[in-house]
Structure 1
Amino acid sequence: MSFGQPGGNPYGEQPQNPQQPGYPAYPQAPQGIPPQQGYGYPQQQPGYPQQGYGYPQQPGYGARPELAHWGLRVGSFLLDGLIIAGPMYALIGIAAAMGSDTAAGAVVTLIGVLYAIGMGFYQLYLEGSTGQTTGKKVVGTRVLREADGSTLGFGMAFVRRLAHIVDGLPCYLGYLWPLWDDKKQTFADKMCSTLVVRAQ
């Protein structure tokens, strides 16, 4: 006797096989994912911000890294300047001692200038591909995109270097801006959406 229940079950209990016709299928865990307590699986809730500034999407950046303070930025700037300009001025001094109006002096001067140009572009390549010039590597800082924590690439590193001209125009105010800015950014950083952080 069925008492009006499908399948002849007199107590109204649902059958163990949820795939029988007439019965809703029970939720199944996605293949390869162990079942969890409760009904369904947690998903990201809209309206809840993630920690950091986009960095959780990047391997190794679970949250925004510590921002580099102004002293570290000045230290890396001075080291890079010494690496680029130091040998050039040394060669120019040698050329002056040899006689800058002589052919040998002119060649030594040219070598110094070419060295500075070549080293400058090489430092931009390092900064774009790894986030670190030689000076930044020594002091332990890195420049990254604010949106996702990725490296800049050579093109954006070059644009950011040009944007530093704006930092120097109003009495070098842009270079001092990281002293009180929440994100410790120069004007160039704000224009290019970059952050200088402690290397991890």
Structure 2
Amino acid sequence: MGNPYDPYGQQQPGYGQQPGYGQQPGYGQQPPAQPGYGQPPAQPGYGQPSAQPGYGQQPPQQPGYGQPPAQPGYGQPPAQPGYGQDVHHHYYGGGQMHLAEWGTRVGAFLIDALIYAIPVILFVILGTAIASAGDSAAVGSLFSLLGYVVGFGVILWQKYVEGTTGQTIGKRVVGIRLIREDTGQLTGFGLAFGRYLCHFLDGLACYIGYLWPLWDQKKQTFADKIVRTLVVRV
């Protein structure tokens, strides 16, 4: 027998009951929209935040305003200048040393040359004066030879001081120092004197070796390259 409250004769589900299998929603109701084939899922609307990292996850940290960029890790070498750029410094154990300019090196050389030349010139003048006076030409020649011996002694003393302290008198005056290229340490007497002998090659071909530091990246003469030394500012 039909329900008297159902004018169409259809039975409605009781309170708490759901429509049976295959039943559709009532009139005027729309089924939930499903994404079509090949369509991406719905994105959050404008102004809605994107998904945050899960519990325990840290977001990537951004450098704060005014903070410097990250530095290279321990043991990593600093960035080297590109091809064709001048090198005005050298690194040893994290320290930075500036290479000496060509004009400064010339100033130190002239001071050292003057220190060498003074005793030589004095003894040669004295020997020439003795020989000219007619007292003894042999004595005059001996004084002249003694002047060169004294001058060579001055050179040996300069190289000893340069090897043990890094500075001759001239280098001390202008504020530069001679060091090893590979370690940054002092050269010692033997290497300093060997470098002095190698300067003979710098004097060949119109003294081109002495001018080489003007365009060389490490500001080295031929002698510096042979014995692997640098001249740096103090």
Q: Is 2:214 the partner of 1:173?
A: no
RMSD over aligned CA atoms reads 2.0
- With CA pairs under 8 Å and 6+ residues apart, which has the higher RCO, 1 or 2? 1
Counterpart AA for 1:65: M
CA distance in 1, matches of 2:108, 2:191: 19
1:106 to 141, 152, 172: 141
**Residue in structure 2 matched with residue 55 of structure 1 by the alignment:** 92
Question: How much identity, in percent, do the aligned residues show?
Answer: 50
Deviations 1:57-82 (A, max 9, x none): xxxxx523111111111111111111
CA distance in 1, matches of 2:74, 2:232: 29
Deviations 1:34-73 (A, max 9, x none): xxxxxxxxxx656x215874522xxxxx523111111111
Q: Is 2:97 the partner of 1:69?
A: no
Q: Which runs of 4+ in 1 moved over 4 A?
A: 50-54
**Residue in structure 2 matched with residue 25 of structure 1 by the alignment:** none
Does structure 2 retain, via aligned residues, the 8 Å contact 1:75–1:139?
yes
Superposition deviation, residue 131 in structure 1: 0.7
**Residue in structure 2 matched with residue 184 of structure 1 by the alignment:** 219
1:80 to 109, 112, 122: 112
TM-score, length of structure 2 as denominator length: 0.59
Structure 2: stretches of 5+ with no match in the other structure:
1-72, 80-88
Structure 1: stretches of 5+ with no match in the other structure:
1-43, 57-61
More helix by share: 1
CA distance in 1, matches of 2:90, 2:183: 7
Superposition deviation, residue 103 in structure 1: 4.3
Paired residues, number: 150
Q: Computing the radius of gyration over CA atoms, which structure comes out larger, 1 or 2?
A: 2
Counterpart AA for 2:116: I
Name the SS of the counterpart of 1:64 in structure 2: strand
TM-score, length of structure 1 as denominator length: 0.68
CA distance in 1, matches of 2:208, 2:145: 34
Name the SS of the counterpart of 1:171 in structure 2: helix
